[in-house]
Homo-oligomer: A and B are copies of this chain.
Amino acid sequence: MEGPKGKGGGHVHRLKLLHLFFSSLFLNVLFSSYLFLSHRPYLDWSRAAAAEAELVAAIFCSGHGRAYLDGILVDGVPTCECNTCYAGANCSQLLPDCPADADSGDPLFLEPYWQHHAGSSAVVFSGWHRMSYRTTGDNFISLELEKHIRLLHEAVGNAVTDGRFIIFGSGSTQLLNALVYALSPENASTPASVVASAPYYALYKMQTEVFDGREYEWKGITSKWVNTSVSSMENFIEFVTSPNNPDGRLRQSVLGGPFIIYDHAYYWPHYTAIPAPADEDVMIFTDSKLSGHASSRFGWAVIKDERVYQKATEYMGVNTMGVSRDTQLRVLKLIKVMLAEMRGEGGIFEFGYETIAERWSKLSKAISSSHRFSLQQLSPQYCTYFKKIRDPSPAYAWLKCEMEEDVDCSAVLSEAGIISRTGTVFEAGSRYTRLSLIKTQDDFDLLLQRMEALVSKEDIASF
């Protein structure tokens, strides 16, 4: 009787095992179906592009460079684009005697931030994404992006946007001239006088001279015009950069006329304490110095007066028919990440501030013992964003050569293997020169090393 029982038991076992097997098979099928039916439609047309992007991002460049999707191809693969002074297929080779390049305001200090926020900051463009000239808002503006820009200013507390108009530009660059145009008189007998206080950002003058419109002309630095009568102020357009490029100081108008363009490119907690939200009639901001995406060419202006807004909008329409909608989508994503991560460990302002404050502190320390060089004086200041007194963290060091014989400060640095931007570019004289603190860590490390060497030579010379 065991037989049948055994047989029966075996049968039951077999059934159980069969059941298990088929369950497992079912799970297998279910699992693969899940992956292929739920993930494939999920990642169908975007899969190849995503895989390509990840492959390129994974190309090893020794931490001294990176490969991009649109990089130059060698054997079909994008090559590493190395940081300054690094070379070789994998950027592993530090070039000897390569000058430290502290010239440009290339905001690559924020690159690691975005590398750490890879998952949330990526964007996928379908081939048919928003092809039309038209977008959600009037004048070629994405309403979601406009909304998020307002939310960001609100969250940071660096500008009042309620009841103001917002216009987009290809970087602040395009907006500078658009606003000179918008603030210039339409049929006046004399063109508007465009001015700025030295040291000033060279592009103000350059644009006014290159575009050479009949309605405006460059009239130099404000100090020449401080005794102008109040009535004549109507004819001035004053650029005020705050914090200032190159020296990082918060600034106000010198002439106090009615037409002022506040360039607030650096009015973010990375670079300065925020004493209060800016509340001027015309304010310009740029994503280049906010998120660090200088490549995207995206800026915006916050404008109080409707007529000025309309004229600037007209300029944007006729100049480029608005800003690339591709860029508008990308910047929207970046601002969403900045908003979501704000005031936490993953905050961009926390990261940005700490990075530059440390660089400034190291450079200051290196120069503190020098009699030959000095830096601009910046003091700790209360910041409404961080809700505490914070140390300086300017985008640039504004270096002065103190010795009588060092007439050309930039040349002095150049001899010591440091590329800087001479003060004459800022109409401040050649005794000054600008050093960028916002480039890659490699750039800063080399700059610091060279400055330390230069200052230590001074100590030796003084013995």
Interfacial residues, chain A to chain B (CB-CB below 8 A)? 1-7, 9-11, 13-14, 17-18, 20-21, 24-25, 27-28, 31-32, 35, 41-55, 57-58, 66, 68-73, 81, 104, 106-108, 110-111, 114-115, 117-136, 142-145, 169-171, 173-174, 177, 181, 203, 206-207, 210-215, 288, 292-298, 314-315, 318-330, 332-334, 337
Complex alpha-carbon distance, A405 and B296, angstroms? 53
CB distance B43 to A318 under 8 Å?
A: no
Cβ–Cβ < 8 Å partners of A206 in chain B? 318
CB distance A330 to B43 under 8 Å?
A: no
Q: Would you give 18 A-B contacts (Cβ < 8 Å), ordered by A?
A: A3-B7, A6-B6, A17-B20, A21-B24, A31-B32, A44-B54, A46-B124, A68-B329, A69-B329, A70-B144, A115-B127, A169-B320, A171-B320, A181-B211, A211-B213, A320-B320, A323-B324, A326-B330
Complex alpha-carbon distance, A5 and B10, angstroms? 11
Complex alpha-carbon distance, A330 and B292, angstroms? 20
- Closest Cβ of chain B to A109, distance in Å, is 10
Interface of A is mostly: helix
Number of copies: 2
Closest 8 pairs (CB-CB, A-B): A10-B10, A121-B127, A3-B3, A45-B118, A53-B124, A17-B17, A114-B127, A295-B325
Q: Which residue of B lies closest to A129 (CB)?
A: B68
Partner pick for A320 among B136, B170, B330, B332, CB 8 A cutoff: B170
Complex alpha-carbon distance, A297 and B108, angstroms? 25
Cβ–Cβ < 8 Å partners of A104 in chain B? 133
Extra pairs beyond A43-B51, A70-B325, A170-B321 (16, CB < 8 Å): A4-B6, A7-B10, A28-B31, A42-B54, A46-B53, A66-B128, A68-B329, A69-B123, A70-B136, A70-B144, A70-B145, A111-B131, A131-B295, A297-B324, A320-B320, A327-B327
- Closest Cβ of chain B to A321, distance in Å, is 5
Complex alpha-carbon distance, A66 and B13, angstroms? 56
Cβ–Cβ < 8 Å partners of A68 in chain B? 129-130, 329
Q: Which residue of B lies closest to A68 (CB)?
A: B130
Cβ–Cβ < 8 Å partners of A131 in chain B? 107-108, 110-111, 114, 292-295
Q: Which residue of B lies closest to A107 (CB)?
A: B131
- Closest Cβ of chain B to A448, distance in Å, is 21
Q: Which residue of B lies closest to A213 (CB)?
A: B212
Q: Which residue of B lies closest to A24 (CB)?
A: B24
Partner pick for A17 among B14, B50, B319, CB 8 A cutoff: B14
Q: Which residue of B lies closest to A51 (CB)?
A: B42
Identify which of A42, A122, A323 gathers the most chain B CB atoms within 10 Å of its CB.
A122
Cβ–Cβ < 8 Å partners of A295 in chain B? 129-133, 135, 324-326
CB distance A314 to B72 under 8 Å?
A: no
